[in-house]
Structure 1
Amino acid sequence: MSTSPAPIRETNGIWLVAEREITSKLRSKAFMISTGILLLIALAGILIGGFVSKNPEATKIAVTSETAAVVEALPNVAVTEVADRDEAESLLRSEDVEAAVIPHDGTLGYSVIALRDAPSSIVMGLAETPEVEILEPATTNPLLRYFIALGFGIVFLMAASTFGGTIAQSVVEEKQTRVVELLISAIPARTLLAGKVIGNTVLAMAQILALAAIATVGLIVTGQTEVLATLGSPIIWFAVFFLFGFILLAALFAAAASMVSRQEDIGATTTPLTLLVMAPYFLVIFFNDNPLVLGIMSYVPFSAPVGMPMRLFVGEAQWWEPIVSLLILLGTCVAAIAIGAKIYENSLLRMGSRVKLKEALRG
C-alpha cells in the first residue's frame, strides 16, 4: 500500500525556498566577486573623497583694489580683481568665485559676501572676523550634497536592478527547465514566490548593510566625523525604505518574469520595472537641489527610498514626513504583493508564448 508524502508546511516551504535562493547565490563566484568589487569601489570612493577634501584646490576670491592686499596674504587663494560690489555679486551668482571681499564702512574696512556659504578658510584666515553676508543661505555643502545623492542613487539602482534581475532569471529558468512543475507539486505557488522574495531581500539587505559599514569605516578613517554624524539618521531611513521598496519590486519582477518562458523574452515584461528602478537615480542626480522634485520623490513609493533620505540629510523634511511616506510605501507594497502573487500563480505553469497581462490577472 503506497502512501503519499506528507505536505510541506507553508512556513517551512517559504524558508526552504529562501535558503535555496541564498545558498545558490553565495556559491556563485560571479556574485561574490561583483559584491567584493562593489564594496571596494565604495570604500575607495570614500577614502579618495576624504583625502582630497584635506588637500583642497585654491579658493577663488573676488577682491577690489582696496581689499586685494588683505586677501593675497592668505594661503591657498586665487584672486580675481573686480571693480565694485555689483561685479563681485555677478561672479558669485555665476559661481566663478566662491566669495568676495569688498570695502565696508565697518571697523575692519571690508566684509565678505558669498552666494550660499562663506568659505571658513577665508573667514578664519583674516586678521579679525569680518561681517559676513550670505546671499542665498544653503543647508548643506553643494558638492557634499551631490555626492550623497549620487551614493544613495547608485546603491538603490545597483541593488534593486541586480537582485530584481536575479529573481526574474530564476523564475524563467525554472519554467524553461520544467523544474517549476516539480516545485509546484510540493508547495503552493504563493509559497514559492514568498521564498524567492524573502531570500533575495535578505541578500540585498546584507549588501546594503555591508555598504553602510564600509561607508562608516571610510568616513572614520578619513576624519569625516561631522559628515558621519549628519548621515546617521538618513542611512537608517534609507535601509528601512529600501527593505520595503525592494520587497515591492521583487514581487513585481517575479510576476513579470512568470509571464514568459524563455530567457530572451525577459526584457519584454521587466523593462517597465527596470525604468522605474532607474528613474530615482537620474532624478536625484539632476534634481538633488530642487526641493519640489525631492518632495514629490519622497512620497512616490518607487523613489521614496532615495528621495526621503536625501531630504532628511539636507534638513528639508519634518519629523513626521518619513513616517507618512513609509505608510504609503507599505500600503503600495501590500497591493503590489497581492497583484504580483495573482499574476505569478496564473502564469507560472503556462508555457509557450508570452502571457498577456489581462489574461494573467483573470486567471
Structure 2
Amino acid sequence: MTSTDTRTPTASAPATGPGTGTSFWSATRLVAEREIRSFLRMKSWWIGFATLVVGLFATALLPSLFGDGGDDGDDGRPGVAVVGIDPPPGLEAAADDIRILEVDDPAGAGHLLADGEVRAIVTPDDTDGSDPDGSDPGVHVLAASEPPLVILDALGSLPPVEIIESPDDAGEGERALVTIVFGLLFLMFGMGGIAIAQSTVTEKQTRIVEILVSTVPVRALLAGKIAGHSLLTIGQVLALAVLAPVALRLGGHTDLLSVLAPAVGWFVPFMLLGFVLLAAMWAVAGSVVSRQEDLGSSTSLVMLFVMLPYFAVVFFGDNAGVLAVLSYVPFSAPVGMPVRLFTGDAQVWEALVSLGVLVAALVVIVLLASRVYSGALLQTRGRIGLAQAWGRADDRPSGDRA
C-alpha cells in the first residue's frame, strides 16, 4: 500500500530529455527512481507497511492467544469425544490436559467434531484382536483434518486413525477469512494508488510539471510514475507473501497453510496486474485537475472501481455462480480468482484465462490513459474533461510541449 505524498515535489528532474537523446525507457527509469526514492524517504510509507505486517501477524496469532480456543474449549484443553466405551485409562490419566466428553450418540459426537468442539472421536475398534477376551478393547480414532497427536500420545498406543475430511478442503470459516484478507489487501493497495493522483496534481499546481515535461516525454513521465509505484507495491506484496507462512505457522495454522500457499502464489500476479491497471486510472484522475481541492471529484470513479469489486466478492463469496463471473471481470479478478482456486472451484486453465483477460484490459486502459494524460497534463487552468483531454493529445512526440 503506497502512502499519500502531499509534499511539494522538488524541482530536481532528470537533466536530459528528448531533445538531448534520452530514450523513452531511460526517461521512464529515471522518473521511476525519483518516485521510489521520494516514498522510501517518507516515514508514513514505512508506518503504513509496518501496519500491514502487524495486522498480518495479529490475524494469525490473536485467535489462538485470546480466542475461545476453538476445539480446545474455554480452558484451553483439547477436547475428545468418547463414544460407546469408558474413557481409556490413558485419557483418564491425562484428564488435567485433555477435556473428555462422554457421548452416547455417534451422530452427536460427529456434530461436535464438525463444529470444532473436539479434536477427535474415540470409538471401540472391533477389528482390533490384541485382547481376545474383550476386557480391554482396542479403540478407533476419527479426526477432522489431521491426526490429533496430543490425544494419540495420551492413549499410549497407535490406534487406527481415520481422517474424515481432506486437509485440502477449505471450510466455510476459512473461505470467508481468505476472501476478506485478499479483498482487504487489494482494497488497501488499490486505494494507495491515490498517491499517484496527488503527486500528479501537486506537480501541476506548483508548475513543476512544466519543468519536467521540458526534459522528459509526457508518456515517460506517466510510465515512470506507474512503474515506480508498482515496484513499491511489488516489494510490499512479496514481503507479505513471504511473511504469511511464518505468521500462520506461529499461529498453529499449518493445515490452512498447505491449502493457502497455492492461492497466495496466484494472488501475487493478479494483485500486481490489477494495481497497474488502477495506477493508470489514478494518474489520469490527477492529470485532469489543477488543484488538490478538485481531486475528490476526479477520483470518485476510480474509487468506485476499487471498492465495488471488493464488496461484490465479499458479499457473494458463497455464491459460486456470481463469484465465477467476478473472477473474469478485470477489476474483481485479482480477488475472485485466487479465492476460487483456494476453495478448489477453479482449475489452473481458468486462472490463466482470467489472467489473460486482465492483461488485455490492462493494455487497453494504459493506452487510453496515456493519451488522456498527455492531453491534460499541461492544462493548468481548472478541470479539463476527458473528451477535451483526448482531443488535445496529438501525434507528436509526447515529450514536446503541447
TM-score normalised according to structure 1 size:
0.79
The aligned residue for residue 275 of structure 1 is 304
CA distance in 2, matches of 1:155, 1:181: 36
Going from structure 1 to structure 2, the CA distance change for 1:50 and 1:61 (only over 3 Å counts) comes to closer
Match of 2:213 among 174, 184, 196: 184
Letter paired with 1:265: D
Describe the SS at the equivalent of 2:214: helix
* 8 Å CA contact retained: 2:210, 2:378: yes
Going from structure 1 to structure 2, the CA distance change for 1:352 and 1:129 (only over 3 Å counts) comes to same
CA distance in 2, matches of 1:338, 1:312: 31
If you compute each CA radius of gyration, which structure gives the higher value, 1 or 2?
2
CA distance in 2, matches of 1:251, 1:118: 45
Displacement of 1:44 after TM fit?
2.0
Displacement of 1:161 after TM fit?
0.7
Match of 2:263 among 234, 244, 256: 234
The aligned residue for residue 303 of structure 1 is 332
Q: RMSD of aligned C-alpha atoms?
A: 4.2
**Deviation per CA, 1:2-61, whole angstroms, max 9, x where unpaired?**
xx9624221110011000000000001111112112211212221223556893254999
* 8 Å CA contact retained: 2:288, 2:384: yes
The aligned residue for residue 235 of structure 2 is 206
CA distance in 2, matches of 1:130, 1:232: 26
The aligned residue for residue 389 of structure 2 is 360
CA distance in 1, matches of 2:219, 2:285: 15
Displacement of 1:139 after TM fit?
3.6
Q: Give 5+ residue unaligned stretches, structure 1.
A: 108-116
Report % sequence identity. Answer: 39
The aligned residue for residue 6 of structure 1 is 20
Match of 1:157 among 187, 201, 204: 187
The aligned residue for residue 110 of structure 1 is none
**Deviation per CA, 1:291-321, whole angstroms, max 9, x where unpaired?**
1122111100001111111111111101200
Which shifted more, 36-45 or 23-32? 36-45
Describe the SS at the equivalent of 1:354: coil
The alignment status of 1:143 with 2:157, answered yes or no, reads no
The aligned residue for residue 43 of structure 1 is 57
* 8 Å CA contact retained: 2:291, 2:382: no
Q: Give 5+ residue unaligned stretches, structure 2.
A: 1-17, 128-143, 393-402
Describe the SS at the equivalent of 1:320: helix
The alignment status of 1:335 with 2:364, answered yes or no, reads yes
**Deviation per CA, 1:238-297, whole angstroms, max 9, x where unpaired?**
111112111111011101211111111111111111121112322232222221122111
Displacement of 1:88 after TM fit?
12
The alignment status of 1:262 with 2:276, answered yes or no, reads no
Displacement of 1:224 after TM fit?
2.8
CA distance in 1, matches of 2:145, 2:361: 44
* 8 Å CA contact retained: 2:29, 2:224: yes
Which structure dedicates a bigger proportion of its chain to helix?
Answer: 1
CA distance in 2, matches of 1:154, 1:17: 29
Q: How many residues align?
A: 352
The aligned residue for residue 42 of structure 2 is 28
